[in-house]
Amino acid sequence: MAPALVVASAAMATLEAVCVRLLADGVSQGQILLLRAGTQLVLVLAICLLRSGGIGVAVRTQRMRQHLWRGALAAVSWWCYFMSLKTLSLPLATTLTFSSQLFVLLLAWPMLRERVTLPQGVATLVGFVGVLVAARLFTPQLLDWHVAYGLASAVMGAVMLLMTRSLSFTDRTETIMFYMALVVFLSAIPQSLLDWPPLDARAWWLLWWMGLSGTLGAWLMVEAYRRSEASALAPFTYARLVFAVVLGYLIFNESVSATTMVGALLIAGSSLGLLWYERRRKAAAEAPRWNA
């Protein structure tokens, strides 16, 4: 169940990225952050009102400090992420987000004391090699300095993922998403006031879809990390690269190079290989044992 939630989250995140790319020329960073976080706030509070307990369900927590730290990280991480989408191609910007999985693997034990198995480590590292191949990061002369936005977002995103895992032990999904959106929303107010170009109907429509898909993607990701360990889910997030390559070609006419194809195969292969191994191991553990 958790891997399926991660793949669904990847699809929603790709839709959000497409909307940001389409908005790149006429919408400011402050507007994107304000309306993305604002949409999440409205949706989370609406869900709370429909459930028993009301809005109090979303705001009740014993771990306010962790929520505020996570929200501050999200404000900076989202800013860098949206800048990478504006300045880089969709496949490259998406590929850079996968470097966060290496940091998840490296930080899973010191932050959460989760045991990382050898197959999980191998699968994640193979997927990361695929990221390097797809982005052509092994040829510095071809790099655009804007990749720094994506890498900075990836580092902070890895810490946020692990904080999400920790918070999910005690707090509801609504609470986690509420405080993150609240901090980002408040940080975006001065940015948007300083730079607010007029928005036409198309921009408002794309902003609404961006907020809806981004919120749904985040919700699915939180639910996935509530159900499984961060290190076990890391390889499955690479499905997002497949979505990005397809939509980048269909919508933005971005051709897929041979390196991108090889990288995508490595990434998909690592995820499918780990899934096959985990299922086989589980089946072997559950098989009846006969005494001689």
Question: Domain residue spans in the chain?
Answer: 2-116+143-237
pLDDT above 50 (res 292): no
Greater confidence (246 vs 55) lies with 246
pLDDT above 70 (res 253): yes
> How far is residue 111's CA from residue 206's CA, in Å, rounded to a whole number?
37
For 55-89, the pLDDT digits (tens) are: 776 678 888 999 999 999 999 999 999 999 988 88
> How far is residue 276's CA from residue 283's CA, in Å, rounded to a whole number?
11
Average pLDDT, the chain: 82
pLDDT above 90 (res 186): yes
Greater confidence (128 vs 110) lies with 128
**What DSSP state is assigned to residue 52?**
T
Greater confidence (37 vs 91) lies with 37
Q: Please name which of 70, 41, 76 lies closest in space to residue 162, comparing C-alpha atoms.
A: 70
* Coil, helix or strand at residue 215: helix
- Please tell me the number of Cα atoms within 13 Å of 103 on its side-chain side: 18
Q: What per-residue confidence (pLDDT) applies to 231? A: 59
Per the listing, tokens 């986690």 go with: 176
Q: Of the segments 5-9, 211-215, 243-247, 288-292, which one has the largest average pLDDT value?
A: 211-215
Instruction: Taking residues 182-194, report their average pLDDT.
Output: 95
Q: What per-residue confidence (pLDDT) applies to 284? A: 75
